[in-house]
């Protein structure tokens, strides 16, 4: 079979790390963003991800495939697999998915890395809803092997098979789940982060103490607030709003502390400060 050509939409935290996973497994990638400045930094980000992957022993191959970047969707009309990783705003995703699906071939697979928007809602925007599947990569996707795959009610068995094969070709393991706001992971994780932020805000415990309980008592690799800093607090707030709007559950209403940090531009690791200070990293 010919080499799949991968297009990644959105060159942010996830787009660059998904691109690194793919090129590291020999699949050529074109990374698309609307922001040229973001694309300029993206190349260095991908290199940084590949270095970390190598350091951790998960990037052993030496042939890294080509990475291209563009702001023009028309450049990626030949994609075999599109991985959508743009900002977690339903209208932004629907628009870019509608545009890309009008350009690519009917056989191309569209994977969305949405954190919480139901796959079927996004499938409603594309030309071939049966070719749309959810692939919720964890952060960073090259260090965490397991991917939450979401089969929407209109996702075809054939598309799901291609998704499995594509993810397996990058050494990933999948768990296929049903569709719904936040799927499995984020229906629970976003709520956990929000409650942890409320607890910190109420002064019951510091972020360090909260995280220490989750790592020390529950065996989590990192606690909820360190996880939130890794995800990006802006993305956490967007995901919470998606969940609140689609479930009506006020428990997903973003906590005041999260909103204040986002208003201050403290998004976590990507800006250098969130619940923690991140000197050294960006």
Partner 1 sequence: MSSSTTNQHILSPGSICGKLTAFLERQTKRDIEPDLDIFAAGLVSSLFALELVVHIESTFDVAIGGPDLRLDNFRTVDRMTELVLRLRGESDD
Ligand X SMILES: NC(=O)c1ccc[n+]([C@@H]2O[C@H](COP(=O)([O-])OP(=O)(O)OC[C@H]3O[C@@H](n4cnc5c(N)ncnc54)[C@H](O)[C@@H]3O)[C@@H](O)[C@H]2O)c1
**Closest-CA residue to 20 (of 138, 112, 140):** 140
> Mask 211-250, x = binds ligand X (CB under 6 A)?
--------------------xx--x---x-----------
- Which one, 200 or 231, has the nearer CB to ligand X? 231
How far is CA 28 from its chain centroid? 19
Does 86 bind ligand X (CB under 6 A)? Our answer is yes
CB of 213 to partner 1, least distance (A): 14
With CB atoms as reference, the residue minimizing the distance to ligand X is 12
Nearest residue (CB) to partner 1, 119 versus 196: 196
Is the CB of 2 or the CB of 279 nearer to partner 1? 279
- Residue from the set 8, 13, 150, 243 that interacts with ligand X by CB under 6 A: 13
State the Cα–Cα distance between residues 57 and 18, nearest whole angstrom. Answer: 17
Q: Is residue 60 exposed (0-12), middle (13-18) or buried (19+ Cβ within 10 Å)?
A: exposed
Contacting ligand X within 95-124 (CB under 6 A): 96, 113-115
Q: Please, what is the minimum distance in Å from the beta carbon of residue 93 to ligand X?
A: 7
Stretch that binds partner 1, among 124-132, 155-163, 184-192, 214-222 (CB under 8 A): 214-222
Q: Cα–Cα distance between 146 and 137 in angstroms, integer?
A: 8
Q: Which of partner 1, ligand X, none does 231 bind, CB closer than 5 to 8 A by kind?
A: ligand X
Element at 212 (helix H, strand E): helix 207-216
Burial class (CB in 10 A: 0-12, 13-18, 19+), 186: buried
Shortest gap between Cβ of 225 and ligand X (angstroms)?
14
Beta pairing partners, 84: 9, 112
Cα distances from 225 to residues 179, 195, 199, 255, in angstroms, run 26, 10, 11, 13
Q: Contact, 136 vs 149, CB < 8 A? A: yes
Rounded (10°) angle between helices 207-216 and 224-231? 110
| Nearest-approach distance from CB 233 to partner 1, in angstroms | 17
Residue 120 · residue 240 · CB < 8 Å = no
Which of partner 1, ligand X, none does residue 255 bind to, with CB < 5 to 8 Å depending on kind?
none
Q: Segment 100-159, which members bind partner 1 (CB under 8 A)? A: 140, 143
Interacting stretch for partner 1, rule CB under 8 A, among 8-16, 50-58, 125-133, 242-250?
50-58
**Residue 218: CB partners within 8 Å, gap ≥ 6?**
none
Counting contacts by CB under 8 A, is residue 57 touching partner 1? yes
Total residues contacting partner 1 (rule CB under 8 A)?
15
- Using CB under 6 A, which residues numbered 24 to 43 contact ligand X? 32-35, 38
Q: How far is the CB of 226 from partner 1 (least distance, A)?
A: 8
What is the rounded CA–CA span in Å between residue 167 and residue 18?
11
Residue ranges in contact with partner 1 by CB under 8 A: 48, 51-52, 54-57, 140, 143, 215, 221-222, 230, 280-281
């Amino acid at each position: 079979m010919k080499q799949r050509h991968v297009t990644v939409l959105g060159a942010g935290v996830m787009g660059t790390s998904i691109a690194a996973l793919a090129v590291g497994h020999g699949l050529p990638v074109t990374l698309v963003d609307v922001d040229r400045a973001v694309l300029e930094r993206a190349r260095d980000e991908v290199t940084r991800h590949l270095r970390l992957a190598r350091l951790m022993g998960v990037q052993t191959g030496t042939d890294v495939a080509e990475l291209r970047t563009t702001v023009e969707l028309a450049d990626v009309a030949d994609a075999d697999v599109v991985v959508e990783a743009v900002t977690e705003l339903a209208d932004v995703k629907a628009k870019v998915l509608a545009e890309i699906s009008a350009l690519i071939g009917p056989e191309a697979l569209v994977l969305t890395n949405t954190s919480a928007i139901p796959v079927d809602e996004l499938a409603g925007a594309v030309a071939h809803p049966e070719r749309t599947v959810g692939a919720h990569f964890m952060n960073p996707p090259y260090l965490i092997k397991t991917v939450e795959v979401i089969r929407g009610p209109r996702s075809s068995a054939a598309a799901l098979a291609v998704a499995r094969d594509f993810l397996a070709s990058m050494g990933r393991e999948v768990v296929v789940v049903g569709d719904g706001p936040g799927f499995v992971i984020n229906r629970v994780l976003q709520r956990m982060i929000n409650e942890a932020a409320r607890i910190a805000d109420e002064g019951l415990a510091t972020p360090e103490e909260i995280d220490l309980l989750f790592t020390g008592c529950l065996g989590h690799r990192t606690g909820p607030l360190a996880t939130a800093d890794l995800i990006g607090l802006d993305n956490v707030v967007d995901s919470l709003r998606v969940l609140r709007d689609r479930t009506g559950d006020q428990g997903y209403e973003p906590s005041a502390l999260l909103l204040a940090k986002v208003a201050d531009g403290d998004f976590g690791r990507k800006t250098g400060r969130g619940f923690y200070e991140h000197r050294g990293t960006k």
